[in-house]
């Protein structure tokens, strides 16, 4: 057996290549949209990718099933409950897929979504016990998939949580303790609330350590897995719907067009958003007026998906050589309308200082001064509600970053505003968004809530 795990840290994504070295037949499970690495590894290992298996319609990224199918002729497969508007071959519960001696067994495990499946991996078809299981978003290391993401499309969190309880206990926890567990996501993913940073586990280890699979009634399980979830990123509904549909294919080697300042200004005037991917410190020292800052060195795609609307044209500003990286990372969540990248930002702003502006940032001590000197100060906490349970700065209003675009009318653009998050990354993005929407004076806090209200030693 050939088994390759791929980790995409900025989206907390795991995907998999499984093949039989004697036959050269292989499948890819839950691929990211830029598929070059799977194609290169398959060629190097002498494998032919004959099938793409999706454990469900993903909400947090646009999957690469269409790209892989176009490149290899592979069949695209979901569980038999899935309905897509492109050709697929449904997989029945209990169905076995032979790659030679290596064999995959499909188990329907609804709960995170109604069509979710898991894939049991047998290194040899006649082994007494399976080698591992690819659990998708049904079972994570330390958690289970959240059941509340489809409440806007006719499913209740309670109903899916009950299906999840059955899937976990009747399908996954019935596997032998030594069975390796390989999920679709790790720590940082918004598809759960307690995901481990580990890249693999075993059924036995999860039975001992995972809060969600401890002995409890179904009602207790529903309560445990539906409470305390973060606010889902704004783009999730768009990505989940896009994964069901035909769409344009991504060429992850395509160059990003270079744009002159005059072209960028024309695009801005027509509604394009300038996304500046430089670190917050560089952005604060000088940027093109109206730009939104989402640092490439963080969870760029996820947070860009919180402050952009699907279909908006995007102009990129990056450190030299990172333009295509930014374009591909946006494409991973389905934001395909990148029209180009501004060439020569520093020179452009030097020649046109009227277009340049800075971003005020305040320390915890300076925030206290603002609070004393500005009685009408507007203080905005963009953390998730669960983060705020440990405390908030006095006088702050909680507007989680994924909600900010839809709740701008709850804030007064004429009042001085200070934004904070946990550490400073999200607040820099939120503050830049507010300034781009006409808020007159907006600062963010260095070090976030941890600097303002440090935890006791």
3-state SS string over 365-389? HHHHHHHHHCCCCEEEECCCHHHHC
Residue 152 has pLDDT above 80, yes or no: no
**pLDDT tens digit string along 160-198?**
999 999 999 999 999 999 999 999 999 999 999 989 999
The whole-angstrom separation of Cα 14 and Cα 19 is 17
Which residue's entry shows tokens 């600097």? 451
Q: How confident is the model at residue 401 (pLDDT cuts 50, 70, 90)?
A: very high
Residue 88 has pLDDT above 80, yes or no: yes
Residue 124 has pLDDT above 90, yes or no: yes
Domain boundaries, the chain: 2-242, 258-357, 361-452
The whole-angstrom separation of Cα 15 and Cα 47 is 17
- What pLDDT, on a 0 to 100 scale, did the predictor assign at position 455? 79
Q: What is the DSSP string of 189-208?
A: -TT-SS--S-S-EEHHHHHH
**pLDDT tens digit string along 273-298?**
999 999 999 999 999 999 999 999 99
Q: How confident is the model at residue 456 (pLDDT cuts 50, 70, 90)?
A: confident
Q: What is the DSSP string of 391-422?
A: ---TT-EE--HHHHGGGGGGS-TTS-EEEE-S
Domain 361-452 of CATH type 3.30.70.20: no
**pLDDT tens digit string along 40-69?**
999 999 999 999 999 999 999 999 999 999
Which residues are 317's β-sheet partners? Answer: 276
Residue 457 has pLDDT above 70, yes or no: no
3-state class (DSSP) for residue 1: coil
Which residue's entry shows tokens 């820099």? 428
Name the burial class of residue 413, with classes exposed (0-12), middle (13-18) and buried (19+) by CB atoms within 10 angstroms of its CB. Answer: middle
What is the crossing angle of helices 323-331 and 300-307, to 10°? 70
Question: Chain-wide mean pLDDT for the chain?
Answer: 96
Sign of the dihedral defined by the CA atoms of residues 400, 401, 407, 408, in that order: positive
Q: How confident is the model at residue 35 (pLDDT cuts 50, 70, 90)?
A: very high
Helix (H) or strand (E) holding 104: strand 103-108
Domain 258-357 of CATH type 3.40.250.10: yes
pTM of the model as a whole: 0.95
Which residue's entry shows tokens 């940073």? 197
Those residues with Cβ within 8 angstroms of residue 18's Cβ, 6 or more apart along the chain or in another chain: 1, 2, 3, 4, 26, 27, 28, 29, 99, 102, 104, 121
What is the crossing angle of helices 425-436 and 300-307, to 10°? 30
Q: How confident is the model at residue 151 (pLDDT cuts 50, 70, 90)?
A: low
Percent of the chain whose predicted confidence (pLDDT) is above 90: 96
Which residue's entry shows tokens 């499913």? 155
Tell me if 2-242 shares its fold with 258-357: no
The whole-angstrom separation of Cα 403 and Cα 201 is 34
The whole-angstrom separation of Cα 343 and Cα 162 is 53
Question: What's the CATH code, domain 2-242?
Answer: 3.60.15.10
């Amino acid at each position: 057996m050939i088994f390759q795990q791929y980790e995409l840290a900025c989206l907390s994504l795991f995907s998999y290549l499984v093949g039989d070295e004697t036959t050269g037949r292989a499948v890819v499970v839950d691929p990211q949209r830029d598929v070059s690495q799977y194609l290169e590894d398959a060629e190097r290992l002498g494998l032919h990718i004959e099938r793409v298996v999706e454990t469900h319609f993903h909400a947090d990224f646009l999957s690469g099933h269409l790209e892989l199918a176009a490149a290899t002729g592979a069949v695209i497969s979901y569980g038999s409950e899935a309905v897509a508007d492109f050709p697929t071959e449904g997989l029945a519960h209990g169905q076995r897929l032979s790659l030679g001696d290596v064999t995959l067994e499909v188990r329907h495990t609804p709960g995170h979504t109604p069509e979710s499946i898991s894939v049991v991996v047998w290194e040899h078809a006649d082994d007494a016990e399976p080698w591992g299981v690819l659990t998708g978003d049904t079972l994570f290391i330390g958690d289970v998939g959240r059941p509340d993401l489809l409440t806007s499309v006719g499913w209740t969190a309670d109903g899916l949580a009950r299906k999840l309880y059955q899937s976990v206990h009747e399908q996954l926890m019935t596997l032998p303790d030594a069975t390796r567990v390989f999920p679709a996501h790790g720590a940082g993913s918004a598809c759960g609330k307690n995901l481990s940073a580990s890249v693999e586990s075993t059924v036995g280890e999860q039975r001992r350590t995972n809060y969600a699979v401890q002995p409890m009634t179904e009602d207790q399980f529903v309560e445990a897995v539906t409470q305390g979830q973060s606010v889902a990123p704004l783009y999730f509904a768009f990505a989940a719907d896009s994964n069901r549909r035909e769409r344009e294919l991504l060429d992850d080697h395509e160059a990003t067009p270079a744009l002159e300042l005059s072209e960028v200004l024309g695009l801005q005037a027509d509604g394009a958003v300038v996304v500046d991917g430089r670190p917050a410190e560089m952005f604060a020292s000088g940027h093109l007026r109206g730009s939104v800052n989402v640092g490439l060195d963080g969870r760029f795609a996820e947070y860009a998906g919180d402050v952009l609307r699907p279909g908006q044209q995007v102009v990129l500003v990056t450190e030299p050589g990172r333009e295509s990286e930014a374009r591909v990372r946006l494409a991973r969540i389905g934001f395909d309308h990148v029209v180009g990248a501004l060439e020569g930002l520093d020179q452009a702003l030097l020649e046109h200082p009227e277009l340049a502006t800075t971003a005020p940032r305040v320390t915890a001590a300076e925030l206290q001064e603002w609070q004393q000197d500005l009685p009408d100060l507007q203080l905005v906490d963009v953390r998730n509600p669960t983060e705020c349970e440990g405390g908030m700065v006095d006088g702050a209003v909680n507007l989680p970053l994924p909600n900010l675009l839809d709740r701008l009318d709850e804030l007064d653009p004429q009042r001085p505003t200070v934004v904070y998050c946990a550490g400073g990354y999200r607040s820099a993005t939120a503050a830049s968004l507010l300034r781009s929407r006409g808020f007159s004076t907006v600062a963010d806090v260095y070090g976030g809530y941890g600097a303002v209200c440090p935890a006791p030693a």
